[in-house]
Amino acid sequence: MSPFLALLARDMRLAVRVGGGALMGALFYFIVVAMMPFAIGPDLNLLARIGPAILWLGALLASLLALDRLFATDHDDGSLDLLMMGAMPLELAVAAKAIAHWLTTAVPLIVITPVLGLMLNIDMSAMGWVALTLLAGTPALTFIGLIGAALAVALRRGGLLLAVLVLPLTIPVLIFGVAAANAAIVGPAPFGPPFTILCALSLASLVLGPVAAAAALRQGLE
């Protein structure tokens, strides 16, 4: 098995074990979305209109808050030092960790999205499209958040600092994600343009995220 896949498998195993945070992100997402009607009121028409925005905000917060410990535990037990000294480029190692994190945190979140959409009175036929926008957009959130996680561990700080640094950078993802989801549900704007831009943002952050995160780790921990 290549080191990349080995690291991916290791991180996924760690995430689903006792003490790992695999389902915590999805649980948080579920609770945040379930709390929205208490703040907004149970008006189903209103909920249907702002439903995609609620789902996207929930996903944004869930994937960011889960990123907090991405490097911290590895830093604490020394395995991050091993990764930095290893033969595999640090960029690849960081990308493997991010993909494992996305698979264990974002994918469960996307899987439960149709159920939440039902509670928000989003049309069943459009629900698949909303889930598709999340599938296309959450990699961007994970890989942008990766930079914040690396900076946070390099500074030995975490929690809210990560959110403060990363949230402004995720605004484009939020804009195009919600726009694509809205286009799928109510129209009249076409679904294609915002969705393809969303995919472009994910692909761009797939490159930028690991490079910047690896640089932050190298600079911060040497």
Partner 1 sequence: MAVIDLANPTRFLTLVDRVLPWLAGVTALVFAYGLYRVLGAPDDYQQGATVKIMFLHVPAAWLGMMGWGVMTVAALGTLVWRHPLADVAGKTAAPIGAAFTFICLVTGSLWGRPTWGTYWVWDARLTSVLVLFLLYLGMLALYWAAEDPNRSARAAAILALVGAVNIPIIKFSVEWWNTLHQPASIMRAGGAAIDASILIPLLIMALAFTLLFFTLHFAAMRNEILRRRVRSMRIMQARSA
Q: Is 53 in the site for partner 1 (CB under 8 A)?
A: no
Q: Which is nearer to partner 1, 135 or 208 (CB)?
A: 208
Minimum Å gap between C-beta 2 and partner 1 is 28
Binders of partner 1 among 4-43, rule CB under 8 A?
Answer: none
Binders of partner 1 among 153-212, rule CB under 8 A?
Answer: 154-155, 157, 161, 164-165, 167-169, 171-172, 175-176, 179, 189, 197, 201, 208, 212
Q: Which is nearer to partner 1, 130 or 140 (CB)?
A: 140
Count of residues that interact with partner 1, criterion CB under 8 A: 25
Q: Residue 37: which of 48, 26, 21 has the closest Cα?
A: 48
- Of the residues 3, 37, 114, 220, which one makes contact with partner 1 according to CB under 8 A: 220
Minimum Å gap between C-beta 216 and partner 1 is 5
Packing angle of the helix pair 44-66, 171-185 (nearest 10 deg): 150
Q: Is 219 in the site for partner 1 (CB under 8 A)?
A: yes
Q: Which is nearer to partner 1, 127 or 140 (CB)?
A: 140
Minimum Å gap between C-beta 202 and partner 1 is 13
Contact 71, 214 (CB under 8 A): no
Q: Which is nearer to partner 1, 103 or 200 (CB)?
A: 200
Mask 103-142, x = binds partner 1 (CB under 8 A)? Answer: ----------------------------------------
Q: Which is nearer to partner 1, 93 or 162 (CB)?
A: 162
Could you give phi then psi for residue 42, rounded to 5 degrees? -85, 20
Minimum Å gap between C-beta 172 and partner 1 is 4
Q: Residue 216: which of 84, 105, 74, 64 has the closest Cα?
A: 84
Q: What is the distance between the alpha carbons of residues 193 and 189, in angstroms, rounded to a whole number?
A: 9
Contact 147, 212 (CB under 8 A): yes
Binding site for partner 1 (CB under 8 A): 147, 151, 154-155, 157, 161, 164-165, 167-169, 171-172, 175-176, 179, 189, 197, 201, 208, 212, 215-216, 219-220
